[in-house]
Structure 1
Amino acid sequence: MSNLSFEEAINNLSSDDVKVRKEAIESLVGITDESAIEPLIKATTDDNAQVRFKAAEILGNMGDVAVDKLIEEFKNASGKDKRFLAFALKETEDKKVIPYFVDAIDDEDFGVRKVAVRALGELQAADQIDSIAKCLEDEDWGVKLAAIQALGDLATDESIKLIKDARKAEDDKDFKKSCNKAIKKAEKRQKAKASGESIVKLIPMSTLKEMEKTNPQKAIKEYERYVETKQAKDVPYKRLCVLYRKANDYDNEVRVLETAMEVFQGNDKKLAYFEKRLNKMK
Protein backbone atom coordinates (compact mmCIF):
# COMPACT_ATOMS: atom_id res chain seq x y z
CA MET A 1 0.00 0.00 0.00
CA SER A 2 1.39 3.38 -0.96
CA ASN A 3 2.14 6.04 1.65
CA LEU A 4 1.95 8.88 -0.86
CA SER A 5 -0.05 11.94 0.08
CA PHE A 6 -2.71 13.20 -2.32
CA GLU A 7 -0.43 16.01 -3.53
CA GLU A 8 2.52 13.66 -4.03
CA ALA A 9 0.39 11.23 -6.02
CA ILE A 10 -0.95 13.96 -8.31
CA ASN A 11 2.54 15.32 -8.91
CA ASN A 12 3.97 11.86 -9.54
CA LEU A 13 1.48 11.21 -12.34
CA SER A 14 3.75 13.44 -14.45
CA SER A 15 6.93 11.52 -13.62
CA ASP A 16 9.11 10.16 -16.43
CA ASP A 17 9.43 6.91 -14.47
CA VAL A 18 6.55 4.53 -15.23
CA LYS A 19 7.00 2.77 -11.86
CA VAL A 20 6.46 6.08 -10.09
CA ARG A 21 3.33 6.77 -12.17
CA LYS A 22 1.97 3.29 -11.42
CA GLU A 23 2.45 3.85 -7.69
CA ALA A 24 0.81 7.25 -7.98
CA ILE A 25 -2.28 5.98 -9.78
CA GLU A 26 -2.73 3.11 -7.31
CA SER A 27 -2.61 5.54 -4.40
CA LEU A 28 -5.48 7.54 -5.94
CA VAL A 29 -7.92 4.62 -5.97
CA GLY A 30 -11.06 5.63 -4.11
CA ILE A 31 -10.40 9.36 -4.41
CA THR A 32 -13.41 11.67 -4.84
CA ASP A 33 -11.61 15.02 -4.73
CA GLU A 34 -12.65 17.10 -7.75
CA SER A 35 -9.13 18.52 -8.06
CA ALA A 36 -7.99 15.04 -9.14
CA ILE A 37 -10.29 14.93 -12.17
CA GLU A 38 -8.13 16.80 -14.69
CA PRO A 39 -4.86 15.02 -13.75
CA LEU A 40 -6.67 11.68 -13.99
CA ILE A 41 -8.15 12.56 -17.38
CA LYS A 42 -4.64 13.38 -18.57
CA ALA A 43 -3.51 10.01 -17.19
CA THR A 44 -6.00 8.22 -19.47
CA THR A 45 -3.56 9.07 -22.30
CA ASP A 46 -0.50 7.74 -20.44
CA ASP A 47 1.99 5.63 -22.39
CA ASN A 48 1.39 2.75 -19.98
CA ALA A 49 -1.82 0.74 -20.43
CA GLN A 50 -2.11 -0.06 -16.71
CA VAL A 51 -2.01 3.62 -15.80
CA ARG A 52 -4.54 4.51 -18.51
CA PHE A 53 -7.01 1.84 -17.45
CA LYS A 54 -6.70 2.56 -13.73
CA ALA A 55 -7.18 6.30 -14.30
CA ALA A 56 -10.35 5.61 -16.31
CA GLU A 57 -11.65 3.22 -13.66
CA ILE A 58 -11.09 5.76 -10.87
CA LEU A 59 -12.85 8.48 -12.87
CA GLY A 60 -15.78 6.18 -13.60
CA ASN A 61 -16.19 5.29 -9.96
CA MET A 62 -16.27 8.98 -9.03
CA GLY A 63 -19.68 9.12 -10.72
CA ASP A 64 -21.56 12.42 -10.58
CA VAL A 65 -18.49 14.34 -9.47
CA ALA A 66 -16.64 13.64 -12.71
CA VAL A 67 -19.29 12.90 -15.33
CA ASP A 68 -19.76 16.42 -16.75
CA LYS A 69 -16.03 16.99 -17.19
CA LEU A 70 -15.68 13.54 -18.75
CA ILE A 71 -18.44 14.32 -21.24
CA GLU A 72 -16.69 17.52 -22.32
CA GLU A 73 -13.37 15.73 -22.77
CA PHE A 74 -15.06 12.85 -24.58
CA LYS A 75 -16.68 15.17 -27.12
CA ASN A 76 -13.33 16.72 -28.00
CA ALA A 77 -11.17 13.57 -27.94
CA SER A 78 -10.35 11.28 -30.87
CA GLY A 79 -8.72 7.97 -31.67
CA LYS A 80 -7.25 5.80 -28.94
CA ASP A 81 -7.32 8.69 -26.44
CA LYS A 82 -11.11 8.53 -26.59
CA ARG A 83 -11.32 4.83 -25.70
CA PHE A 84 -10.47 5.16 -22.04
CA LEU A 85 -12.70 8.20 -21.65
CA ALA A 86 -15.49 6.05 -23.10
CA PHE A 87 -14.77 3.36 -20.52
CA ALA A 88 -14.79 5.95 -17.71
CA LEU A 89 -18.13 7.33 -18.90
CA LYS A 90 -19.62 3.84 -19.06
CA GLU A 91 -18.50 3.16 -15.49
CA THR A 92 -20.31 6.25 -14.18
CA GLU A 93 -23.61 4.49 -15.05
CA ASP A 94 -25.15 7.93 -15.56
CA LYS A 95 -28.07 8.04 -18.03
CA LYS A 96 -27.02 11.49 -19.25
CA VAL A 97 -24.12 9.90 -21.17
CA ILE A 98 -26.48 7.95 -23.46
CA PRO A 99 -26.71 10.60 -26.23
CA TYR A 100 -22.91 10.79 -26.42
CA PHE A 101 -22.63 7.03 -26.80
CA VAL A 102 -25.27 7.12 -29.52
CA ASP A 103 -23.12 9.62 -31.42
CA ALA A 104 -20.05 7.45 -30.78
CA ILE A 105 -21.64 4.54 -32.66
CA ASP A 106 -20.22 6.23 -35.78
CA ASP A 107 -16.81 7.00 -34.30
CA GLU A 108 -13.81 6.26 -36.51
CA ASP A 109 -12.15 4.22 -33.74
CA PHE A 110 -13.43 0.66 -33.36
CA GLY A 111 -12.55 0.63 -29.68
CA VAL A 112 -14.78 3.62 -29.00
CA ARG A 113 -17.62 2.07 -31.00
CA LYS A 114 -17.29 -1.16 -29.04
CA VAL A 115 -17.49 0.54 -25.64
CA ALA A 116 -20.31 2.81 -26.83
CA VAL A 117 -22.64 0.05 -27.98
CA ARG A 118 -21.89 -2.07 -24.91
CA ALA A 119 -22.69 0.91 -22.70
CA LEU A 120 -26.06 1.44 -24.40
CA GLY A 121 -27.02 -2.09 -23.43
CA GLU A 122 -25.81 -1.78 -19.85
CA LEU A 123 -27.61 1.55 -19.46
CA GLN A 124 -30.83 -0.04 -20.72
CA ALA A 125 -31.19 2.46 -23.57
CA ALA A 126 -34.10 0.55 -25.14
CA ASP A 127 -35.18 3.60 -27.13
CA GLN A 128 -31.81 3.48 -28.90
CA ILE A 129 -32.23 -0.08 -30.17
CA ASP A 130 -31.83 1.08 -33.81
CA SER A 131 -28.40 2.54 -32.97
CA ILE A 132 -27.40 -0.71 -31.28
CA ALA A 133 -28.68 -2.80 -34.20
CA LYS A 134 -26.63 -0.66 -36.59
CA CYS A 135 -23.49 -2.10 -34.98
CA LEU A 136 -24.49 -5.58 -36.13
CA GLU A 137 -23.26 -4.47 -39.55
CA ASP A 138 -19.98 -3.01 -38.23
CA GLU A 139 -16.78 -4.01 -40.02
CA ASP A 140 -15.14 -4.85 -36.69
CA TRP A 141 -15.90 -8.27 -35.22
CA GLY A 142 -15.60 -7.05 -31.63
CA VAL A 143 -18.16 -4.30 -32.22
CA LYS A 144 -20.61 -6.82 -33.68
CA LEU A 145 -20.25 -9.07 -30.64
CA ALA A 146 -20.68 -6.08 -28.33
CA ALA A 147 -23.92 -5.27 -30.14
CA ILE A 148 -25.17 -8.80 -29.54
CA GLN A 149 -24.36 -8.48 -25.83
CA ALA A 150 -26.08 -5.10 -25.68
CA LEU A 151 -29.24 -6.49 -27.27
CA GLY A 152 -29.15 -9.30 -24.72
CA ASP A 153 -28.96 -6.71 -21.95
CA LEU A 154 -32.10 -4.97 -23.25
CA ALA A 155 -34.02 -8.25 -23.02
CA THR A 156 -37.03 -7.19 -25.10
CA ASP A 157 -38.92 -9.17 -27.71
CA GLU A 158 -37.52 -6.86 -30.38
CA SER A 159 -33.91 -7.20 -29.20
CA ILE A 160 -34.19 -11.00 -29.02
CA LYS A 161 -35.55 -11.09 -32.58
CA LEU A 162 -32.60 -8.99 -33.78
CA ILE A 163 -30.18 -11.44 -32.16
CA LYS A 164 -31.94 -14.40 -33.76
CA ASP A 165 -31.86 -12.70 -37.16
CA ALA A 166 -28.15 -11.99 -36.77
CA ARG A 167 -27.51 -15.60 -35.75
CA LYS A 168 -29.36 -16.87 -38.82
CA ALA A 169 -27.39 -14.62 -41.15
CA GLU A 170 -23.96 -15.62 -39.81
CA ASP A 171 -22.09 -18.88 -40.46
CA ASP A 172 -19.38 -18.48 -37.82
CA LYS A 173 -19.94 -21.00 -35.01
CA ASP A 174 -18.43 -18.80 -32.30
CA PHE A 175 -20.70 -15.93 -33.30
CA LYS A 176 -23.72 -18.23 -33.14
CA LYS A 177 -22.64 -19.34 -29.66
CA SER A 178 -22.45 -15.71 -28.54
CA CYS A 179 -25.94 -15.18 -29.93
CA ASN A 180 -27.27 -18.23 -28.08
CA LYS A 181 -25.73 -16.99 -24.84
CA ALA A 182 -27.22 -13.52 -25.30
CA ILE A 183 -30.67 -14.96 -26.06
CA LYS A 184 -30.53 -17.16 -22.97
CA LYS A 185 -29.58 -14.16 -20.83
CA ALA A 186 -32.34 -12.02 -22.34
CA GLU A 187 -35.02 -14.66 -21.83
CA LYS A 188 -33.91 -15.18 -18.24
CA ARG A 189 -34.18 -11.44 -17.63
CA GLN A 190 -37.63 -11.35 -19.19
CA LYS A 191 -38.84 -14.08 -16.85
CA ALA A 192 -37.34 -12.32 -13.85
CA LYS A 193 -38.97 -9.05 -14.83
CA ALA A 194 -42.34 -10.77 -15.34
CA SER A 195 -42.16 -12.20 -11.82
CA GLY A 196 -41.33 -8.80 -10.33
CA GLU A 197 -37.69 -9.51 -9.57
CA SER A 198 -35.07 -6.75 -9.73
CA ILE A 199 -32.57 -7.28 -12.53
CA VAL A 200 -29.21 -6.30 -11.09
CA LYS A 201 -25.84 -7.88 -11.77
CA LEU A 202 -24.33 -8.74 -8.39
CA ILE A 203 -20.66 -9.48 -7.85
CA PRO A 204 -19.96 -12.38 -5.43
CA MET A 205 -19.17 -11.46 -1.82
CA SER A 206 -15.74 -13.11 -1.93
CA THR A 207 -14.75 -10.89 -4.85
CA LEU A 208 -16.03 -7.76 -3.15
CA LYS A 209 -14.10 -8.44 0.05
CA GLU A 210 -10.88 -8.63 -1.97
CA MET A 211 -11.91 -5.52 -3.90
CA GLU A 212 -12.12 -3.58 -0.63
CA LYS A 213 -8.34 -3.86 -0.35
CA THR A 214 -7.55 -2.64 -3.85
CA ASN A 215 -10.52 -0.45 -4.80
CA PRO A 216 -12.79 0.49 -1.87
CA GLN A 217 -14.67 2.99 -4.00
CA LYS A 218 -15.68 0.29 -6.47
CA ALA A 219 -16.52 -2.09 -3.61
CA ILE A 220 -18.93 0.46 -2.15
CA LYS A 221 -20.58 0.87 -5.53
CA GLU A 222 -21.06 -2.89 -5.86
CA TYR A 223 -22.23 -3.42 -2.27
CA GLU A 224 -24.82 -0.71 -2.89
CA ARG A 225 -26.39 -2.92 -5.57
CA TYR A 226 -27.26 -5.42 -2.83
CA VAL A 227 -28.82 -2.65 -0.75
CA GLU A 228 -30.65 -1.17 -3.74
CA THR A 229 -32.43 -4.46 -4.36
CA LYS A 230 -32.83 -5.14 -0.61
CA GLN A 231 -31.05 -8.49 -0.74
CA ALA A 232 -31.61 -10.65 2.35
CA LYS A 233 -27.89 -11.02 3.07
CA ASP A 234 -26.55 -9.05 6.01
CA VAL A 235 -22.88 -8.96 4.91
CA PRO A 236 -23.25 -6.21 2.25
CA TYR A 237 -24.99 -3.92 4.76
CA LYS A 238 -22.35 -4.56 7.41
CA ARG A 239 -19.45 -4.00 5.05
CA LEU A 240 -20.99 -0.78 3.71
CA CYS A 241 -21.37 0.53 7.25
CA VAL A 242 -17.68 -0.15 7.91
CA LEU A 243 -16.58 1.47 4.65
CA TYR A 244 -18.77 4.53 5.16
CA ARG A 245 -17.50 4.87 8.73
CA LYS A 246 -13.91 4.86 7.46
CA ALA A 247 -14.87 7.58 4.99
CA ASN A 248 -16.62 9.58 7.75
CA ASP A 249 -19.82 9.42 5.68
CA TYR A 250 -22.42 9.58 8.46
CA ASP A 251 -25.48 10.10 6.27
CA ASN A 252 -24.86 7.09 4.06
CA GLU A 253 -24.08 4.86 7.02
CA VAL A 254 -27.38 5.82 8.64
CA ARG A 255 -29.21 5.20 5.35
CA VAL A 256 -27.74 1.71 5.05
CA LEU A 257 -28.55 0.90 8.68
CA GLU A 258 -32.15 2.02 8.30
CA THR A 259 -32.53 0.00 5.08
CA ALA A 260 -31.08 -3.07 6.80
CA MET A 261 -33.54 -2.71 9.67
CA GLU A 262 -36.37 -2.64 7.17
CA VAL A 263 -35.07 -5.69 5.27
CA PHE A 264 -34.39 -7.79 8.37
CA GLN A 265 -37.54 -6.89 10.28
CA GLY A 266 -38.69 -10.12 11.89
CA ASN A 267 -35.19 -11.61 12.02
CA ASP A 268 -34.22 -10.65 15.57
CA LYS A 269 -30.72 -12.11 15.33
CA LYS A 270 -29.71 -10.04 12.28
CA LEU A 271 -31.74 -7.02 13.29
CA ALA A 272 -29.96 -6.66 16.64
CA TYR A 273 -26.61 -5.78 15.03
CA PHE A 274 -28.03 -2.91 12.99
CA GLU A 275 -30.20 -1.56 15.82
CA LYS A 276 -27.24 -1.51 18.18
CA ARG A 277 -25.00 0.25 15.66
CA LEU A 278 -27.62 2.85 14.82
CA ASN A 279 -28.35 3.57 18.48
CA LYS A 280 -24.65 4.24 19.09
CA MET A 281 -24.69 6.86 16.35
CA LYS A 282 -27.51 8.88 17.92
Structure 2
Amino acid sequence: MGDLTVEEAILKLKDDDVEVRKEAIKNLYGVKDESVINPLIEATTDENTNVRFKAAQILGTFGDVAVDKLIDKFNSATGSDKRYLIFALKETHSPKTIDALVSAVDDEDPNVRKTAIRGLGALQARDKMDYIASGLNDDDWGVRLYSIYALGDLATPESIALIKQARRKEKDKDFKKSCNKTIKKAEKVMKAGGKLQPTSKAKPMKDIKVLEKEDLEAAAREYEVYVNEKSTSQAPYKRLCILYRKLNKYDDEVRILNIAIELFSKLNPGKEEWFQKRLDKLTN
Protein backbone atom coordinates (compact mmCIF):
# COMPACT_ATOMS: atom_id res chain seq x y z
CA MET A 1 0.00 0.00 0.00
CA GLY A 2 1.22 3.50 -0.81
CA ASP A 3 0.93 6.78 1.07
CA LEU A 4 -2.88 6.66 1.02
CA THR A 5 -4.99 4.40 3.21
CA VAL A 6 -7.31 1.95 1.45
CA GLU A 7 -10.29 4.17 2.32
CA GLU A 8 -8.57 7.29 0.97
CA ALA A 9 -7.58 5.55 -2.26
CA ILE A 10 -11.14 4.27 -2.81
CA LEU A 11 -12.52 7.77 -2.30
CA LYS A 12 -10.01 9.32 -4.69
CA LEU A 13 -10.93 6.84 -7.45
CA LYS A 14 -13.98 9.07 -8.00
CA ASP A 15 -12.09 12.37 -8.00
CA ASP A 16 -12.66 14.71 -10.96
CA ASP A 17 -8.89 15.06 -11.48
CA VAL A 18 -7.54 12.17 -13.53
CA GLU A 19 -4.08 12.55 -11.95
CA VAL A 20 -5.63 12.00 -8.53
CA ARG A 21 -7.38 8.87 -9.82
CA LYS A 22 -4.09 7.59 -11.27
CA GLU A 23 -2.41 8.12 -7.91
CA ALA A 24 -5.25 6.25 -6.19
CA ILE A 25 -4.80 3.26 -8.52
CA LYS A 26 -1.05 3.33 -7.92
CA ASN A 27 -1.68 3.10 -4.18
CA LEU A 28 -3.88 0.02 -4.57
CA TYR A 29 -1.18 -2.19 -6.09
CA GLY A 30 -0.62 -5.21 -3.86
CA VAL A 31 -3.69 -4.52 -1.70
CA LYS A 32 -5.64 -7.68 -0.88
CA ASP A 33 -8.50 -6.02 0.97
CA GLU A 34 -11.73 -7.23 -0.67
CA SER A 35 -13.34 -3.85 -0.02
CA VAL A 36 -11.45 -2.49 -3.06
CA ILE A 37 -12.98 -4.98 -5.53
CA ASN A 38 -16.22 -3.11 -6.29
CA PRO A 39 -14.54 0.31 -6.57
CA LEU A 40 -11.93 -1.18 -8.92
CA ILE A 41 -14.65 -2.78 -11.03
CA GLU A 42 -16.26 0.62 -11.39
CA ALA A 43 -12.84 2.06 -12.30
CA THR A 44 -12.68 -0.26 -15.33
CA THR A 45 -15.20 2.12 -16.91
CA ASP A 46 -13.14 5.24 -16.14
CA GLU A 47 -12.77 7.72 -19.02
CA ASN A 48 -8.98 7.41 -18.74
CA THR A 49 -7.46 4.35 -20.45
CA ASN A 50 -4.57 4.10 -17.99
CA VAL A 51 -6.92 4.00 -15.00
CA ARG A 52 -9.12 1.38 -16.66
CA PHE A 53 -6.22 -0.87 -17.56
CA LYS A 54 -4.54 -0.64 -14.14
CA ALA A 55 -7.84 -1.34 -12.38
CA ALA A 56 -8.37 -4.45 -14.49
CA GLN A 57 -4.79 -5.54 -13.87
CA ILE A 58 -5.17 -5.30 -10.09
CA LEU A 59 -8.53 -7.09 -10.17
CA GLY A 60 -6.89 -9.99 -11.95
CA THR A 61 -4.59 -10.55 -8.97
CA PHE A 62 -7.60 -11.30 -6.74
CA GLY A 63 -8.32 -14.51 -8.67
CA ASP A 64 -11.48 -16.40 -7.69
CA VAL A 65 -12.32 -13.85 -5.00
CA ALA A 66 -13.27 -11.24 -7.60
CA VAL A 67 -14.63 -13.49 -10.35
CA ASP A 68 -18.33 -13.57 -9.47
CA LYS A 69 -18.54 -9.79 -9.14
CA LEU A 70 -16.62 -9.32 -12.39
CA ILE A 71 -18.94 -11.69 -14.23
CA ASP A 72 -22.03 -9.89 -12.89
CA LYS A 73 -20.64 -6.56 -14.11
CA PHE A 74 -19.60 -8.05 -17.45
CA ASN A 75 -23.04 -9.53 -18.08
CA SER A 76 -24.64 -6.10 -17.74
CA ALA A 77 -21.89 -4.17 -19.56
CA THR A 78 -22.19 -2.83 -23.09
CA GLY A 79 -19.83 -1.54 -25.75
CA SER A 80 -16.24 -0.71 -24.85
CA ASP A 81 -16.91 -1.19 -21.11
CA LYS A 82 -16.61 -4.92 -21.74
CA ARG A 83 -13.02 -4.62 -22.95
CA TYR A 84 -11.30 -4.11 -19.62
CA LEU A 85 -13.69 -6.38 -17.75
CA ILE A 86 -12.83 -9.26 -20.08
CA PHE A 87 -9.15 -8.50 -19.55
CA ALA A 88 -9.64 -8.61 -15.77
CA LEU A 89 -11.54 -11.89 -16.05
CA LYS A 90 -8.77 -13.39 -18.16
CA GLU A 91 -6.12 -12.27 -15.68
CA THR A 92 -7.83 -14.09 -12.79
CA HIS A 93 -6.98 -17.41 -14.50
CA SER A 94 -10.14 -18.85 -12.94
CA PRO A 95 -12.04 -21.68 -14.70
CA LYS A 96 -15.22 -19.93 -13.56
CA THR A 97 -14.63 -17.32 -16.25
CA ILE A 98 -14.90 -19.76 -19.19
CA ASP A 99 -18.60 -19.20 -19.91
CA ALA A 100 -18.14 -15.42 -19.85
CA LEU A 101 -15.16 -15.71 -22.21
CA VAL A 102 -17.17 -17.92 -24.58
CA SER A 103 -20.00 -15.37 -24.65
CA ALA A 104 -17.48 -12.69 -25.73
CA VAL A 105 -15.95 -14.61 -28.63
CA ASP A 106 -18.40 -13.02 -31.09
CA ASP A 107 -18.54 -9.57 -29.44
CA GLU A 108 -18.71 -6.59 -31.80
CA ASP A 109 -15.46 -5.19 -30.36
CA PRO A 110 -12.40 -6.99 -31.83
CA ASN A 111 -10.35 -6.20 -28.71
CA VAL A 112 -12.92 -8.03 -26.60
CA ARG A 113 -13.00 -10.95 -29.05
CA LYS A 114 -9.25 -11.46 -29.12
CA THR A 115 -8.84 -11.13 -25.34
CA ALA A 116 -11.64 -13.64 -24.76
CA ILE A 117 -10.17 -16.12 -27.23
CA ARG A 118 -6.69 -15.85 -25.77
CA GLY A 119 -8.17 -16.32 -22.32
CA LEU A 120 -9.79 -19.60 -23.35
CA GLY A 121 -6.41 -20.80 -24.53
CA ALA A 122 -4.69 -19.76 -21.31
CA LEU A 123 -7.34 -21.65 -19.33
CA GLN A 124 -6.71 -24.79 -21.39
CA ALA A 125 -10.39 -24.86 -22.39
CA ARG A 126 -9.93 -27.74 -24.84
CA ASP A 127 -13.66 -28.47 -24.91
CA LYS A 128 -14.17 -24.92 -26.25
CA MET A 129 -11.79 -25.37 -29.20
CA ASP A 130 -14.57 -24.65 -31.72
CA TYR A 131 -15.09 -21.21 -30.18
CA ILE A 132 -11.37 -20.48 -30.31
CA ALA A 133 -11.13 -21.71 -33.90
CA SER A 134 -14.01 -19.46 -34.95
CA GLY A 135 -11.57 -16.56 -34.61
CA LEU A 136 -9.48 -17.92 -37.46
CA ASN A 137 -12.10 -16.58 -39.89
CA ASP A 138 -12.41 -13.19 -38.24
CA ASP A 139 -12.08 -10.04 -40.36
CA ASP A 140 -9.68 -8.59 -37.79
CA TRP A 141 -6.04 -9.64 -38.23
CA GLY A 142 -5.40 -9.39 -34.49
CA VAL A 143 -8.26 -11.71 -33.65
CA ARG A 144 -6.96 -14.29 -36.12
CA LEU A 145 -3.48 -14.03 -34.61
CA TYR A 146 -4.76 -14.41 -31.03
CA SER A 147 -6.72 -17.46 -32.16
CA ILE A 148 -3.46 -18.99 -33.34
CA TYR A 149 -1.84 -18.26 -29.98
CA ALA A 150 -4.82 -19.73 -28.09
CA LEU A 151 -4.80 -22.90 -30.19
CA GLY A 152 -1.09 -23.16 -29.47
CA ASP A 153 -1.85 -22.91 -25.75
CA LEU A 154 -4.10 -25.96 -26.05
CA ALA A 155 -1.21 -27.95 -27.52
CA THR A 156 -3.15 -30.89 -28.95
CA PRO A 157 -2.85 -32.62 -32.34
CA GLU A 158 -6.23 -31.12 -33.26
CA SER A 159 -5.30 -27.57 -32.33
CA ILE A 160 -1.96 -27.82 -34.17
CA ALA A 161 -3.77 -29.10 -37.27
CA LEU A 162 -6.01 -26.03 -37.17
CA ILE A 163 -2.98 -23.74 -36.97
CA LYS A 164 -1.42 -25.46 -39.98
CA GLN A 165 -4.67 -25.07 -41.89
CA ALA A 166 -4.78 -21.36 -41.07
CA ARG A 167 -1.14 -21.00 -42.12
CA ARG A 168 -1.93 -22.42 -45.55
CA LYS A 169 -4.82 -19.99 -46.04
CA GLU A 170 -3.04 -16.84 -44.83
CA LYS A 171 -0.89 -14.80 -47.23
CA ASP A 172 0.68 -12.47 -44.66
CA LYS A 173 4.30 -13.51 -44.05
CA ASP A 174 4.39 -12.26 -40.45
CA PHE A 175 1.26 -14.27 -39.69
CA LYS A 176 2.84 -17.39 -41.17
CA LYS A 177 5.96 -16.84 -39.03
CA SER A 178 3.77 -16.59 -35.93
CA CYS A 179 2.08 -19.85 -36.93
CA ASN A 180 5.46 -21.55 -37.27
CA LYS A 181 6.65 -20.36 -33.86
CA THR A 182 3.38 -21.33 -32.22
CA ILE A 183 3.40 -24.80 -33.76
CA LYS A 184 6.96 -25.38 -32.62
CA LYS A 185 6.12 -24.28 -29.08
CA ALA A 186 2.93 -26.38 -28.96
CA GLU A 187 4.75 -29.50 -30.17
CA LYS A 188 7.37 -28.98 -27.47
CA VAL A 189 4.63 -28.70 -24.84
CA MET A 190 3.04 -31.93 -26.10
CA LYS A 191 6.31 -33.78 -25.77
CA ALA A 192 6.74 -32.43 -22.24
CA GLY A 193 3.41 -33.82 -21.10
CA GLY A 194 0.81 -31.66 -22.76
CA LYS A 195 0.33 -28.82 -20.29
CA LEU A 196 1.45 -25.28 -20.97
CA GLN A 197 3.15 -23.57 -18.08
CA PRO A 198 1.88 -20.03 -17.52
CA THR A 199 4.31 -17.35 -18.63
CA SER A 200 5.63 -15.19 -15.83
CA LYS A 201 4.85 -11.49 -16.04
CA ALA A 202 7.70 -10.62 -13.72
CA LYS A 203 10.60 -8.56 -14.98
CA PRO A 204 14.12 -9.99 -14.45
CA MET A 205 15.43 -9.23 -10.97
CA LYS A 206 18.52 -7.51 -12.37
CA ASP A 207 16.30 -5.05 -14.27
CA ILE A 208 14.26 -4.26 -11.17
CA LYS A 209 17.42 -3.63 -9.15
CA VAL A 210 18.41 -1.04 -11.74
CA LEU A 211 14.94 0.48 -11.43
CA GLU A 212 15.44 0.77 -7.67
CA LYS A 213 17.98 3.53 -8.32
CA GLU A 214 15.39 5.55 -10.24
CA ASP A 215 12.02 4.85 -8.63
CA LEU A 216 11.58 2.81 -5.43
CA GLU A 217 7.79 2.76 -5.77
CA ALA A 218 7.95 1.40 -9.31
CA ALA A 219 10.53 -1.21 -8.28
CA ALA A 220 8.30 -2.33 -5.41
CA ARG A 221 5.37 -2.82 -7.82
CA GLU A 222 7.55 -5.01 -10.01
CA TYR A 223 8.66 -7.15 -7.06
CA GLU A 224 4.99 -7.50 -6.09
CA VAL A 225 4.47 -9.38 -9.36
CA TYR A 226 6.74 -12.11 -7.99
CA VAL A 227 4.64 -12.21 -4.83
CA ASN A 228 1.39 -12.45 -6.80
CA GLU A 229 2.87 -15.33 -8.79
CA LYS A 230 3.89 -17.04 -5.53
CA SER A 231 7.55 -17.10 -6.46
CA THR A 232 9.57 -19.71 -4.54
CA SER A 233 12.67 -17.52 -4.56
CA GLN A 234 13.36 -15.57 -1.37
CA ALA A 235 15.02 -12.68 -3.20
CA PRO A 236 11.96 -10.65 -4.29
CA TYR A 237 10.39 -10.94 -0.84
CA LYS A 238 13.59 -9.74 0.83
CA ARG A 239 13.96 -6.84 -1.61
CA LEU A 240 10.35 -5.80 -1.00
CA CYS A 241 10.86 -5.78 2.76
CA ILE A 242 13.94 -3.61 2.34
CA LEU A 243 12.23 -1.21 -0.06
CA TYR A 244 9.12 -0.86 2.06
CA ARG A 245 11.33 -0.04 5.05
CA LYS A 246 13.05 2.70 3.02
CA LEU A 247 9.64 4.02 1.95
CA ASN A 248 8.35 3.93 5.55
CA LYS A 249 5.59 1.57 4.49
CA TYR A 250 5.62 -0.63 7.55
CA ASP A 251 2.17 -2.17 6.97
CA ASP A 252 3.32 -3.37 3.56
CA GLU A 253 6.54 -4.73 5.01
CA VAL A 254 4.59 -6.69 7.62
CA ARG A 255 2.27 -8.02 4.90
CA ILE A 256 5.19 -9.32 2.83
CA LEU A 257 6.93 -10.78 5.89
CA ASN A 258 3.81 -12.75 6.82
CA ILE A 259 3.35 -14.00 3.26
CA ALA A 260 6.99 -15.12 3.11
CA ILE A 261 6.86 -16.81 6.51
CA GLU A 262 3.76 -18.79 5.58
CA LEU A 263 5.16 -19.76 2.16
CA PHE A 264 8.69 -20.77 3.12
CA SER A 265 7.77 -22.52 6.37
CA LYS A 266 5.71 -24.93 4.28
CA LEU A 267 7.95 -25.06 1.23
CA ASN A 268 11.30 -25.40 2.96
CA PRO A 269 11.19 -25.22 6.77
CA GLY A 270 14.00 -23.04 8.07
CA LYS A 271 14.03 -20.70 5.08
CA GLU A 272 11.48 -18.47 6.81
CA GLU A 273 13.89 -17.54 9.63
CA TRP A 274 15.19 -14.33 7.99
CA PHE A 275 11.63 -13.08 7.65
CA GLN A 276 10.56 -14.19 11.12
CA LYS A 277 13.50 -12.43 12.81
CA ARG A 278 12.76 -9.24 10.87
CA LEU A 279 9.09 -9.42 11.79
CA ASP A 280 9.91 -9.98 15.47
CA LYS A 281 12.15 -6.90 15.53
CA LEU A 282 9.54 -4.84 13.74
CA THR A 283 6.60 -5.78 15.95
CA ASN A 284 8.26 -6.10 19.37
TM-score normalised by the chain length of structure 1: 0.81
Greater CA drift, 2-11 or 247-256: 247-256
Separation in 1, partners of 2:125, 2:48:
33
How many percent of aligned residue pairs carry the same amino acid? Answer: 52
Q: Name the structure 2 match of 1:264.
A: none
Deviation of 1:191 after TM superposition, in Å, equals 2.2
Q: Name the structure 2 match of 1:168.
A: 168
Q: Name the structure 2 match of 1:220.
A: 227
Deviation of 1:79 after TM superposition, in Å, equals 1.3
CA RMSD of aligned residues (A): 2.9
Separation in 2, partners of 1:216, 1:7:
24
Separation in 2, partners of 1:199, 1:171:
31
Flag structure 1 segments of 5+ consecutive residues without an equivalent.
228-232, 262-272
Q: Name the structure 2 match of 1:117.
A: 117
- The DSSP-based 3-state class of the residue aligned with 1:46 is coil
- The DSSP-based 3-state class of the residue aligned with 2:124 is coil
Residues 1:78 and 1:61: Cα distance change in structure 2 (over 3 Å): same
- The DSSP-based 3-state class of the residue aligned with 1:168 is helix
Q: How many residues align?
A: 262
- The DSSP-based 3-state class of the residue aligned with 1:189 is helix
**How do 1:6-85 residues align onto structure 2 when only pairs under 5 Å count?**
6-85=6-85
Counterpart amino acid of residue 71 in structure 2: I
Separation in 1, partners of 2:276, 2:67:
36
Residue-by-residue CA offset, 1:201-247 (whole Å, 9 max, x unaligned)? 2444446776761255533122x2x54xxxxx664686799999631
**How do 1:188-199 residues align onto structure 2 when only pairs under 5 Å count?**
188-193=188-193, 199=197
Separation in 1, partners of 2:207, 2:113:
29
Tell me if structure 1 keeps the 8 A contact 2:160–2:183: yes
Separation in 2, partners of 1:237, 1:25:
22
Residues 1:246 and 1:162: Cα distance change in structure 2 (over 3 Å): same
- The DSSP-based 3-state class of the residue aligned with 1:23 is helix
Separation in 1, partners of 2:237, 2:2:
28
Tell me if structure 2 keeps the 8 A contact 1:257–1:274: yes
Is 1:274 the counterpart of 2:282? The answer is no
Is 1:134 the counterpart of 2:134? The answer is yes
Deviation of 1:158 after TM superposition, in Å, equals 0.8
Tell me if structure 2 keeps the 8 A contact 1:121–1:151: yes
Tell me if structure 2 keeps the 8 A contact 1:160–1:186: yes
Is 1:253 the counterpart of 2:261? The answer is yes
Deviation of 1:15 after TM superposition, in Å, equals 1.3
Deviation of 1:63 after TM superposition, in Å, equals 1.6
Tell me if structure 1 keeps the 8 A contact 2:110–2:140: yes
Deviation of 1:151 after TM superposition, in Å, equals 0.7
Deviation of 1:155 after TM superposition, in Å, equals 1.0
Greater CA drift, 106-115 or 241-250: 241-250
Q: Name the structure 2 match of 1:187.
A: 187
Residues 1:65 and 1:208: Cα distance change in structure 2 (over 3 Å): farther
TM-score normalised by the chain length of structure 2: 0.81
Separation in 1, partners of 2:154, 2:165:
16
